Amino acid sequence: MTDADDPLAVFRDRFALPEGVIYLDGNSLGALPRATADRLTATAIKEWGAGLITSWNAAGWISAPQRIGDKIARLVGAGEGEVIACDSTSVNVFKLLTAALSLNPGRTTILSESGNFPTDVYMMQGIEQLTGGSVRARLVEPAAVEEAIDNDVAVLLLTQVHYKTGRMRDLARTTALAHQRGALAVWDLSHSAGAVPVDLGAAHADFAVGCGYKYLNGGPGAPAWLHVAERHQERVTPALSGWFGHAAPFDFVDEYVPASGIARFLCGTPPILGLAALECGVDLLLEADMAAVRAKSLALAELFMARMAPLCARHGFTLVSPADPVERGSQVAYAHPEGYAIMQALIARRVIGDFRAPDILRFGLTPLYLRFADIERAVEILAEIMAQSAWDRPEYRVRAAVT
Ligand SMILES: *Cc1c(COP(=O)(O)O)cnc(C)c1O
């Protein structure tokens, strides 16, 4: 595949990308869709400014979490009424872990892998604290996860595509194994939704969560989403029993009664401005065919790795992403002892990727707005930086708050 025969080439113009920037960080903060700014203006001026509180009904604010959730469901192979857009990924991990624990009484372990995205692990540890240690947060090495699913594991918490390396787990196979051993599974799809084809239905998945601001292009701090298989929904009494998840929030009664269906997993008032932006990002992705997105993502990665091979040999980069495309999401990552300074030199030359401690340069591949020419140019610029040791400057070693 080249830029000339790229079926997704038309999508680039649907994003407001700055001139001269090669953006390889859409896995961390997706780019701005052109439609979003107008939508935000309309939501603020017409719906909020003019409509005021009547917009909860008249502009459909009240049903936005379900409406957008149903759209996200189509991206991850879930059914209508199985996904809702709400809260942050972190909060949703808490909600689903406590839900899973309640469905699997008699078992007390939450199992995950060491090196998982920190917030997932911190939430496990928080639940251990909250329960006075009666629930155990257990981490094992990534390769040991499957054998560690013993008869005390209530719930397995895994990220399908690893945030640093891009290593992708087989969601269907691991879910089936968890079920065989009597455990439930919560999947974190933060680096999967909108990046790789996902079929939660076919995998008979129990629960999933994901971010809105990465491959869904929902904007900084966009609302996240959660998925609960329909068969589990009515059996869970949410631990975060907020009024928006009540059966009749506007009855204002003292007793909590959960809403039926996915709505019970809401907590407080939905952030309407954030949801409006998220919906634009999701709508745009729904226009693209996920199989085409995946095919282009792999072609971009293949080109990136081919161009990087000489730099690995000459300048000490080590590929930390799986070489096998079946085991890789939509990013490539390299380790280098001077990774931080090298990334700052790249960003100074308007090639934007990111750095993950201790030594990883991450390059996100977002097929809707990246061209093959961008990949060629990015690696050329990196080669120049390395040939001239242009990264070796004190200002490139100063760590910013966000890396
Ligand atoms: C980005 C990411 C998160 C982020 O959680 P927030 O609550 O949005 O900060 C969680 N899990 C994974 C795997 C991620 O990659």
- Ligand 1 center from residue 213 Cα (angstroms): 10
Q: What percent of the chain has pLDDT over 70?
A: 100
Q: Is the CB of 190 under 6 A from ligand 1?
A: yes
What is the per-residue pLDDT for 11? Answer: 98
3-state helix, strand, coil in the chain (%, to 5): 45, 15, 40
Write out pLDDT tens, residues 132-156.
Answer: 999 999 999 999 999 999 999 999 9
pLDDT exceeds 90 at position 403: no
What is the per-residue pLDDT for 125? Answer: 98
Indicate which atom in ligand 1 lies nearest the CA of residue 117. Answer: 13
Write out pLDDT tens, residues 64-113.
Answer: 999 999 999 999 999 999 999 999 999 999 999 999 999 999 999 999 99
Integer CA distances (angstroms), 212 to 39, 73, 209, 340, 383, in order: 17, 13, 10, 26, 33
Write out pLDDT tens, residues 103-118.
Answer: 999 999 999 999 999 9
> In what helix (H) or strand (E) does residue 139 lie, and over which residues does it extend?
strand 136-140
Residue ranges and CATH numbers for the domains of the chain are: 3-31+289-397 (3.90.1150.10), 37-286 (3.40.640.10)
Mean pLDDT of the chain: 98
CB 220 within 8 A of CB 29: yes
Report d(CA 247, CA 372) in Å as an integer.
Answer: 51
213 as an active site residue: the answer is yes
Q: Is the CB of 362 under 6 A from ligand 1?
A: no
| CA atoms within a 13 Å half-sphere pointing along the CA-CB vector of 139 | 13
